Amino acid sequence: QEQFNSIAAHVMHCTDSGFGARLLELCNQGLFECLALNLHCLGGQQMELAAVINGRIRRMSRGVNPSLVSWLTTMMGLRLQVVLEHMPVGPDAILRYVRRVGDPPQPLPEEPMEVQGSERTSPEPQEWVPIIQQDIQSQRKVKPQPPLSDAYLSGMPAKRRKTMQGEGPQLLLSEAVSRAAKAAGARPLTSPESLSRDLEAPEVQESYRQQLRADIQKRLQEDPNYSPQRFPNAHRAFAEDP
């Protein structure tokens, strides 16, 4: 609340040329203090802080492609680690925000160091514990996103393909089919060059695009996670007849 009031006052009253830089400074300060306060409330455990944030991301991303959510949580975890390593706000700076209820607890006798997988006692509310434990287990099971196939990339529009890869695909459809034929030991009745020319024919390319479109339309119809309202561009591109 203190940082929010400072930001609001700055937006309403600042008129000099340093408005933007000061606004960015106030926003960063509020973010750093929020992270530091949450970390303090979680006993300084960075893994638990990441688990809480991941839980919020997943709840806000219901209906989104699981691979995208997995990538988002992974990138958030890496970014959070960098931010915490260079945290400009120390523990003493956020103690004024801490409010303790009741008498302070008596110091407990020293116990052996906690090992992974054991039951733990932590300062967070009890209703958070199942969520944190579930997120920790989910993070251990996250699988990396497999690379897209050459055939899939070749069926994309050129602009979208460059966005996905940064450059064109390594193999065109004709080259991919030729390589698959060689791997299977199959030989064309004429020559490899003739096969490549046939595969590059406009009618073959059009048939391939139509088949790819039909496959994607079928996937969108059967995928329970797909929502036309959430993905209007995909709906316009694939769910509607051209």
Instruction: Locate the domains of the chain by residue range.
Output: 2-98+125-140, 150-239
Beta strands in the chain (DSSP E): none
Amino acid 242: pLDDT: 52
**d(C-alpha 132, C-alpha 128), whole Å:** 6
Which residue has 């459809």 as its token pair?
Answer: 173
Q: For 131-143, what is each residue's pLDDT tens digit?
A: 777 777 776 665 6
For the beta carbon of residue 177, count every other beta carbon within 10 angstroms. 19
Mean pLDDT confidence for 147-158: 66
pLDDT of 123 above 60: no
**d(C-alpha 191, C-alpha 169), whole Å:** 24
How far, in whole angstroms, is CA 137 from its chain's centroid?
Answer: 17
Q: What letters, b where the CB count within 10 A reaches 16 and e where it falls short, cover 111-130? A: eeeeeeeeeeeeebeeeeee
Tokens of 60: 């806000």
Cα distance between the two ends of the chain = 52
Amino acid 171: pLDDT: 44
188 and 195 Cβ atoms separated by less than 8 Å: yes
Mean pLDDT confidence for 100-114: 58
- Give the confidence band of 162 by pLDDT, cuts at 50, 70, 90: low
117 and 47 Cβ atoms separated by less than 8 Å: no
The model's pTM: 0.34
Q: For 35-81, what is each residue's pLDDT tens digit?
A: 777 777 777 777 887 888 888 888 888 877 888 878 878 887 777 77
pLDDT of 216 above 80: yes
Which residue has 């260079």 as its token pair?
Answer: 86
Q: What DSSP element (H or E) covers 214?
A: helix 202-222
Amino acid 144: pLDDT: 61
Give the percent of the chain with pLDDT over 70.
66
**d(C-alpha 70, C-alpha 187), whole Å:** 42
Mean pLDDT, all residues of the chain: 72
Say whether 190 sits in a helix, a strand or coil: coil
Amino acid 91: pLDDT: 67
- Give the confidence band of 168 by pLDDT, cuts at 50, 70, 90: very low
Residues with Cβ < 8 Å from 194, sequence gap 6 or more?
Answer: 188
Amino acid 152: pLDDT: 67
Amino acid 235: pLDDT: 78
Mean pLDDT confidence for 14-22: 82
**d(C-alpha 242, C-alpha 240), whole Å:** 6
